[in-house]
A and B are shown apart, each in its own frame.
Chain A
C-alpha cells in the first residue's frame, strides 16, 4: 500500500470538486474470473468468440426486461447534478468515475445499436455525432474496469432530477459481461462457494459448529451464563440469517455475540441453519436475478425444514436490501411465517422493539468512555426500510446506539441518512487488487469521521454491514485511525445489556 496516493482530508462543509485527472484510474480493474468460477454459475468459461453479437443481444433482452434501464438510457439530459456525488470520483478525480460518464459507457453502446440515429450514423462511421460508439474490445475493457469502480451505492441517484440509478446500469453491464464469459473473479468465485458450501467464506458445517461452541465458551467466561448459539434447532421460533463474516471476522463476531445475548435476555428460541449460513447475496452485485433467486431459496428451504415462525436478518447491508425489497418475490409467498411479525425482520427492529417494551435493559456504563457516530450503510439507507414508519432505517439504528452509549454524534449531514457515502468497498469491490480504489473511495467518509473526531471527540463509528466493517478495518489505519474504531451496533448492545436479574 506504500505506493498509493492517499487523498488529503479537508472540512466536509467545504468539500471541493477535485481537479480532474483524466485516466487516473484507467488501469484499475479486478481479476477476471477463471473458467471454473464462471461455469459454476452457468456462464461461459471465458470470453466467447462471438462476444460482440451476444453482448448486444443480451443488452436488447435487458432493455426489454427492465423498463427502468430503457428509461435511464433515454432520459439523461446531461445536467451534471450527479458529477461530484460519487465517492470514487471525489477520491480519484478520474472523470470516468462521474456517474454520468459511467452510464455513458453503456449509453454510447445502446445508442449505436438501439436508436435510429445511432444505427444510421454509426453505419457510416459518424456515430460520434449522436454519442454512439461501436462495441469494440477496447470499449469492453473500459466497461470491465469502470463498471468495477461502481459500488452500486445509489448516492448519485438521490441527486439526479430523473432518478437515474447508476447501480442498475452497472448491474446490467456486469450481467452482460457474465453472459459473454467475462466475469469478475471475486463475486463469481464467492457465489460458487455459496452453491457448493453454503456461504461466502466457504465455511463448512463442522467448522461453523466448532466456532459457535468456542463463542459459547467465551460468553460463559464473560457472563457466567449459558448463552447459547443454537444450530439446526428444529422447532425454534426464529431463524437467524446473518453474513458468514459474523462467524469469522472482527468486529463482526462481536455483533453476533450481541444478537445471542439479546435472544437470551428476551427468552426467545432461535437457531442458525447450516443450510442458510449466509445472509449476503452477491448475485445482486452481478445483476443476475436467476442467481439471486437460487441463493435466496436456501433461506426458504431452511426455514421450512426447521419449522421456524420468523426469519431475522443480522447486520448485513445489501442482504437487507435483498431481504426487505425482493425476498417475497424471490422466495415467497412466506405464508408459513407468523403474520404478526415483519417477514423478514431486521435484528435491529427486533432489538429496538425489546428496548421500547422494556424487554431488555441496557446499562450505558458498559460502553464507558465511548463517543459514537453511525455510518449509514448504502443499501440499508437508500434501498430498504426498517420499522413501520418512513425513515425507520435511519432512526432505529441510531436509537439503539443511543440507548447503549453515553454520547452519540452524527457526522456531517451531507454524508449521512439518504446522502450517506459508501464505505468504498461495496458492490463486490471488497477485494485486495482494488485496494487503491477502496482507499480513495473511502476518503469522503474518512473526512466526515475525522471532522467529528476533532470537533466532538468521537472515538468509534458503528456500522450495520459486514462489507463496511471489513472495508473500514482495512482503510481506517491508512487514514491514521485505529483499526478498531469501527464497531458492530450489536457489539455496543452486547457491552451494555444487563443479563441475569431482568425481572
Chain B
C-alpha cells in the first residue's frame, strides 16, 4: 500500500508501516493517525517524538517500560503507566504509536 501526502506517494507495507523510515513527516503521521482513528493531541505528539528520538539512537522502538518512564519524566508521574498509553493508543502503544511515528513494527512475542 502507499500513503498520498501533498501529492507525493509514500510506500508502506501491507499493514501500513513505512518501508523507509526517512519518508516520515508530520503530515503523514496525521494521516496514519486518522486511519487508525487516533485524534492527535500534544500528548500523542510527545509519545511519537520520543519514539523517533529513541529509534534514532538505538534502531529499535523503546521497550514499554522505557517509554512509560520517559513519559513520566516529560508529562508527570500520573501519566507514566501502561494504562495511560493505552488510552492514547488503544491498539497498544507498541504497535499503533510506532506506526504513526513511522517506525518498523515490533516483531516477536509482543
Fill in one digit per residue for B14-25: 1 if any A CB lies within 8 Å of its CB, else 0: 110000000000
A344 to chain B, nearest CB (A): 19
Q: A210's closest neighbor in chain B, by CB?
A: B58
Determine whether A183 belongs to the interface, using a CB cutoff of 8 Å to chain B: no
Which segment of B2-10, B27-35, B43-51, B59-67 sits at the interface?
B59-67
Residues in B with CB closer than 8 Å to A201 are: 60, 106-108, 110
Known: A466-B108, A484-B82. 13 other contacts (CB 8 A): A193-B107, A201-B106, A202-B60, A202-B106, A203-B60, A207-B59, A215-B65, A245-B110, A248-B64, A253-B63, A433-B14, A467-B109, A469-B109
Fill in one digit per residue for B76-108: 1 if any A CB lies within 8 Å of its CB, else 0: 000000100010000010110000000010111
- Asked if residues B107 and A280 are in contact (CB atoms below 8 Å), the reply is no
B5 to chain A, nearest CB (A): 24
CA of A121 to CA of B67 in the docked complex: distance in angstroms?
63
Fill in one digit per residue for A467-481: 1 if any B CB lies within 8 Å of its CB, else 0: 101100010000000
Residues in B lying within 8 Å of A, measured CB to CB: 14-15, 58-60, 63-66, 69, 82, 86, 92, 94-95, 104, 106-110
Q: B92's closest neighbor in chain A, by CB?
A: A474
A47 to chain B, nearest CB (A): 17
B65 to chain A, nearest CB (A): 6
- Residue B65 contacts which of A203, A218, A466 (CB distance < 8 angstroms)? A218
**Shortest beta-carbon contacts, A-B, top 7:** A200-B108, A466-B109, A207-B58, A245-B109, A249-B110, A248-B63, A201-B108
Q: B104's closest neighbor in chain A, by CB?
A: A202
B23 to chain A, nearest CB (A): 18
- Residue B109 contacts which of A189, A193, A200, A253 (CB distance < 8 angstroms)? A200
CA of A467 to CA of B106 in the docked complex: distance in angstroms?
14
CA of A218 to CA of B64 in the docked complex: distance in angstroms?
14
Q: B95's closest neighbor in chain A, by CB?
A: A432
- Asked if residues A253 and B64 are in contact (CB atoms below 8 Å), the reply is yes
Q: B110's closest neighbor in chain A, by CB?
A: A249
A253-B65 in contact given A31-B14, A206-B58, A210-B58 (Cβ < 8 Å) = yes
CA of A31 to CA of B104 in the docked complex: distance in angstroms?
16
CA of A190 to CA of B109 in the docked complex: distance in angstroms?
10
- Asked if residues B106 and A248 are in contact (CB atoms below 8 Å), the reply is yes
CA of A199 to CA of B82 in the docked complex: distance in angstroms?
24
Residues of chain A from 438 to 482 with CB closer than 8 A to chain B in the complex: 466-467, 469-470, 474
Residues in B with CB closer than 8 Å to A470 are: 109-110
Residues in A with CB closer than 8 Å to B59 are: 202, 204, 207
Q: List 27 A-B contacts (CB under 8 A).
A: A189-B107, A193-B108, A200-B107, A200-B108, A204-B60, A206-B58, A210-B66, A211-B63, A211-B65, A214-B69, A218-B65, A244-B108, A248-B63, A249-B63, A249-B110, A250-B64, A250-B82, A252-B109, A252-B110, A253-B64, A253-B65, A316-B109, A433-B15, A467-B109, A469-B109, A470-B110, A484-B82
Determine whether A323 belongs to the interface, using a CB cutoff of 8 Å to chain B: no
Determine whether A483 belongs to the interface, using a CB cutoff of 8 Å to chain B: yes
- Residue A202 contacts which of B65, B86, B95, B107 (CB distance < 8 angstroms)? B107
CA of A199 to CA of B109 in the docked complex: distance in angstroms?
11
Residues of chain A from 25 to 54 with CB closer than 8 A to chain B in the complex: 31
Determine whether A374 belongs to the interface, using a CB cutoff of 8 Å to chain B: no
B100 to chain A, nearest CB (A): 15
Residues of chain A from 284 to 299 with CB closer than 8 A to chain B in the complex: none
